[in-house]
């Protein structure tokens, strides 16, 4: 067995031991084929008010500018598909927010994985990433063989669907690299495009984030655009519609991560309980939840929009 292969096998074994669903490894390089697509997407304003996406264009395309002497991108997925849904569905919250904030959960796992790599192979340099830096996680997951990018622009896996988080370790250690996913298994299906409540999937594989319910209810900090008021049904944090209708998600299985279990203190809130939520209660209930990202004022705005 080659040294590089042994390194990759060790990393993957440790990743699975820590509870990650999949682990693939790609060689760190410049993503030349993504450059024109990203440039055009930004030029067309499809990132909405997420102006931070205009920053660090070169780093988004080349991880070697994020980590000195980067050699390998370790892509990891962590399942969040729930075993139960709320019985009260007057207002809807995206499945990924049922439990604790995934940033904290995944970061702790990545830290343990990095520690294991260093204990085994010495002074390995690297950084962990969970939605917090200019890393094209779906592209690197595809390059690492974890799946393909579907028409809704989420990563899809034939055996697990799309209800999983993505994260990366970028390290200066050479590994044996996985084969990128070349096959698109979406075929002629357009269910995600047809079902989107705000027509945010403007073409296959092209998302106008400024129209996406997840963007509108979480990322957008301003007042809701007039044309979008009342357009997203009863979603108050995120949206799962494009994933819920995807045929590949019939293969989704419930996760086993205790920290992603639904928070029963609010999980089955009635419409009245949501509407009467105070700022003080918000701070307590969602202290460790992804929902804190929208802040109390943002959540109240979303609740008000659902009433229009």
Question: Where do the structural domains in the chain lie, given as residue ranges?
Answer: 3-83+98-171, 191-306
- pLDDT greater than 70 at residue 1: no
pTM for the model: 0.95
Contacts of 189 (CB under 8 A, 6+ apart): 151, 247
**194-244 tens-digit pLDDT:** 999 999 999 999 999 999 999 999 999 988 888 887 777 899 999 999 999
3-31: average pLDDT: 98
Q: How confident is the model at residue 308 (pLDDT cuts 50, 70, 90)?
A: low
Q: What is the predicted pLDDT for the residue at 233? A: 82
pLDDT averaged over the chain? Answer: 95
- pLDDT greater than 60 at residue 80: yes
50-71: average pLDDT: 93
Question: Is 123 assigned a catalytic role?
Answer: no
Q: How confident is the model at residue 83 (pLDDT cuts 50, 70, 90)?
A: very high
Which residue among the candidates 58, 68, 104, 131 is catalytic per the annotation?
131
- pLDDT greater than 60 at residue 134: yes
Q: What is the predicted pLDDT for the residue at 59? A: 93
- pLDDT greater than 80 at residue 307: no
Q: What is the predicted pLDDT for the residue at 190? A: 98
- pLDDT greater than 80 at residue 108: yes
């Amino acid at each position: 067995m080659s040294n590089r292969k042994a390194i990759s096998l060790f990393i993957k074994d440790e990743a699975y031991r820590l509870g990650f669903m999949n682990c693939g490894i790609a060689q760190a390089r410049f993503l030349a084929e993504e450059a024109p697509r990203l440039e055009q997407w930004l030029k067309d304003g499809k990132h909405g008010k997420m102006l931070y996406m205009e920053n660090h264009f070169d780093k988004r395309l080349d991880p070697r500018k994020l980590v000195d002497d980067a050699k390998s991108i370790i892509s990891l997925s962590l399942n969040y598909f729930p075993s139960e849904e709320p019985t009260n569905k007057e207002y809807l919250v995206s499945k990924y927010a049922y439990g604790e904030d995934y940033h904290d959960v995944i970061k702790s796992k990545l830290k343990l994985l990095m520690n294991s790599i260093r204990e085994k192979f010495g002074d390995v340099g690297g950084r962990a990433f969970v939605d917090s830096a200019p890393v094209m996680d779906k592209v690197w997951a595809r390059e690492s063989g974890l799946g393909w990018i579907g028409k809704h622009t989420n990563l899809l896996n034939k055996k697990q669907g799309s209800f999983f988080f993505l994260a990366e370790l970028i390290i200066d250690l050479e590994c044996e690299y996985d084969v990128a996913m070349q096959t698109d298994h979406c075929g002629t299906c357009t269910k995600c495009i047809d079902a989107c409540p705000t027509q945010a999937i403007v073409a296959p594989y092209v998302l106008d984030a400024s129209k996406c319910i997840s963007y509108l209810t979480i990322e957008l900090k301003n007042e809701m655009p007039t044309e979008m008021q009342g357009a997203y049904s009863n979603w108050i944090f995120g949206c799962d519609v494009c994933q819920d209708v995807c045929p590949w998600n019939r293969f989704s299985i419930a996760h086993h991560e205790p920290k992603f279990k639904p928070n029963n203190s609010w999980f089955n809130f009635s419409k009245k309980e949501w509407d009467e939520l105070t700022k003080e209660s918000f701070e307590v209930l969602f202290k460790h939840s992804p929902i804190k990202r929208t802040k109390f004022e943002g959540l109240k705005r979303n609740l008000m929009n659902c009433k229009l």
